[in-house]
Amino acid sequence: MGADDQRGIFNDAVMMNCESSDLPPGQCRTDEHRLHRRLFLKGLTGGALATVSSFSGLFHNRVFAEATKKAQKHCILLWLCGAPSQFETWDPKPGRPSGGPFGSIPTKIPGVRISSLMPKCAGIADTLNIVRSMKTAQTEHLQAITLLQRGNPERAGFTRPTLGSALSQAMGQLDSPIPNFIFLDPIPGGNEFETFKAGNWAGWLGAEHAPVRLGGDYTQFLNAATQTIPQHDRESRETLRKFLTAKYERDRKSGVARSQNAAFERMKGLAASADLFDVNKLPAKDRERYGPGSFAQHSLMARNLVEHGAPFVMVANGMNWDNHVFQHEIHQMLVPELDRVLFHLIRDLEERGLLDSTLVIAMGEFGRTPWMNPARGRDHYPNAWSMMMTGCGLKRGVVIGATDADGVDVIEKPYNEQNLFATIFTALGIDPFGEYDLPGMPTFHRVEDKAEPIRDLLA
């Protein structure tokens, strides 16, 4: 059975973690995996491992695990694809040769300044957390998107699930009419992001954990189907489809078919929730507050979806942050939109009592160069960049890590994609080192190498 054929059958996979002090990080004995998995399935692990003092031991505690699952957690990823400039957002260097034309402004956190393009975020900085010391290894979009969407370096022959898919499996409910992984992006294209979008998001978790893509014109089909096909036709087609897919699944013993079938069922539920994906159905006052652009409107939609129970919503706008040309001329528009969106999104979640259960992340796949190219642009820069995350499981008002005076190098607390993903999973109450149950495949964990979460951010 090839790796790519194995996805669909692991949809009920449970996560286990191994504790092995005599092996390198991330490497565990196979028999230990089996033992833990069996124990967990029998519901016996809680007491047995309750005394394990490590972080991951918590997740072997049945009571803890159940309590965690009771409270639905959510995550909104504002995916700033193309990569925003840290200089024009979270780590300004005014007056330095790398600083660009925009100034910095004080924030609600004493001594911390952010770009003058973000006055609203400055006013709620004590609600945000800023990481100024991201340091990753990929300089090209496709590889970097892959890295920051999947959270670990690639391993040839195996497709790791993206964050959304991993969270869909860990936090989602298979019987929910709202998809567990919603991806809002109005732009069909996107160069390298387009390539990524066409790929396998769910990896070995299978199609039911792939995103349901909506937003912009993609949303129209939700209503279009019901408008164009008469009711009796729809029922006949549905009966036939069910029969054929069940037969196919039975005859072929195909996990793929089962995955696709589950995805189809999800789409049916989705069509029944079509209004949630109609921008025009969102309250006019909210629409005005968030602003007119498609990214802002989809961010509002994300808030609305979370309010209705969606576990994971990712909002993107093509690859609009890739400003190799007209860096400052485009960032002068994009950053204020992001500023306004973050301000309202976080305040709204807070006011609705949802921020404690909703993790909000705003990031791209890397940062931009400290130096300007001849086309008025900044190029790709993974060496030292910034991102923001706040909400569920995190402290508030923390600025972590630092770069040098020009923003060329990280000088304090470098973090990579694994640290970031370990933080995200931990904040959401999910074991970051949990092992995927993939019989016949190598051992994979949500985060490899036992990479530490950014502990200074964790509540």
Partner 1 sequence: MKLILTHTHELPAGVLGLAVTADGSHAFAACADGTLVAVDTATGGAETFEARHRSFASGCALLPDGRTIISGGYDGMLLWHDVETRRCVRRVQAHRFWNWQLALSPDGSRLATATGQYLAGGWKYEPAEETEPSVKVYDTFTGDLVAAFRHTPPVLSCAFSPVGQRLAAANMMGEVRVWNLPSGADDKPAAQWTSPDFTSWGTIKTHHYCGGIYGLAFSPDGTSLLGCGMGPMTDPMAGNGKMTWQRWNWQKGERMDQIKDGQHGSGLMETVAWHPDGKHFIMAGRQAQGTWNAAVFSAADGSLVHSMDTKQRITHARFTSEGQSVILSGAIGQPKRIGDLWPPWGRLQIYRLDA
Q: Please state the closest distance from residue 338 (CB atom) to partner 1, in A.
A: 11
Select 367 or 432, whichever has its Cβ closest to partner 1. 367
Select 243 or 371, whichever has its Cβ closest to partner 1. 371
Q: Please state the closest distance from residue 155 (CB atom) to partner 1, in A.
A: 29
Q: Please state the closest distance from residue 131 (CB atom) to partner 1, in A.
A: 23
Q: Please state the closest distance from residue 140 (CB atom) to partner 1, in A.
A: 15
CB neighbourhood size of 435 (10 A): 22
Pairing of strands 312-315, 74-79: parallel
Select 41 or 405, whichever has its Cβ closest to partner 1. 405
69 vs 60: CA distance, rounded Å? 13
Q: Please state the closest distance from residue 213 (CB atom) to partner 1, in A.
A: 16
332 vs 130: CA distance, rounded Å? 20
Select 243 or 326, whichever has its Cβ closest to partner 1. 326
443 vs 195: CA distance, rounded Å? 27
156 vs 186: CA distance, rounded Å? 31
Beta strands in 194-279 (DSSP E): 212-214
Q: Please state the closest distance from residue 358 (CB atom) to partner 1, in A.
A: 25
Q: Three-state secondary structure along 2-70?
A: CHHHCHHHHCCCCCECCCCCCCCCCCCCHHHHHHHHHHHHCCCHHHHHCCCCCCHHHHHCHHHHHHHHH
Select 56 or 219, whichever has its Cβ closest to partner 1. 219
Sequence-distant contacts of 303-309: CB under 8 A, at least 24 apart: 303/76, 303/345, 303/348, 303/349, 304/276, 305/178, 305/182, 305/276, 306/74, 306/76, 306/349, 306/354, 306/358, 307/352, 307/354, 308/178, 308/273, 308/276, 309/72, 309/176, 309/178
Query: Coil, strand or helix: which one is 202?
Result: coil
Helix (H) or strand (E) holding 144: helix 141-150
Pair of tokens at residue 17? 């973690």
Select 232 or 285, whichever has its Cβ closest to partner 1. 285
Q: Please state the closest distance from residue 300 (CB atom) to partner 1, in A.
A: 13
CB neighbourhood size of 251 (10 A): 9
CA dist 145 → 70, 196, 311 (Å): 32, 8, 21
Binding site for partner 1 (CB under 8 A): 82, 97-98, 101-103, 186-187, 189-191, 193-194, 291-294, 296-297, 317-320, 322-326, 329-330, 332-334, 336-337, 370-377, 406, 408
Select 283 or 439, whichever has its Cβ closest to partner 1. 283
Q: Please state the closest distance from residue 118 (CB atom) to partner 1, in A.
A: 14
Select 251 or 288, whichever has its Cβ closest to partner 1. 288
Q: Three-state secondary structure along 276-340?
A: HHCHHHCCHHHHHHHCCCHHHHHHHHHHHHHHCCCCEEEECECECCCCCCCHHHHHHHHHHHHHH
Q: Please state the closest distance from residue 372 (CB atom) to partner 1, in A.
A: 4
Q: Please state the closest distance from residue 424 (CB atom) to partner 1, in A.
A: 26
Select 123 or 336, whichever has its Cβ closest to partner 1. 336
> In a 10 Å sphere around its CB, with 0-12 CB exposed, 13-18 middle and 19+ buried, how is residue 198 labelled?
exposed
Select 28 or 338, whichever has its Cβ closest to partner 1. 338
Pair of tokens at residue 326? 């007209």
Q: Please state the closest distance from residue 103 (CB atom) to partner 1, in A.
A: 7
Select 224 or 375, whichever has its Cβ closest to partner 1. 375
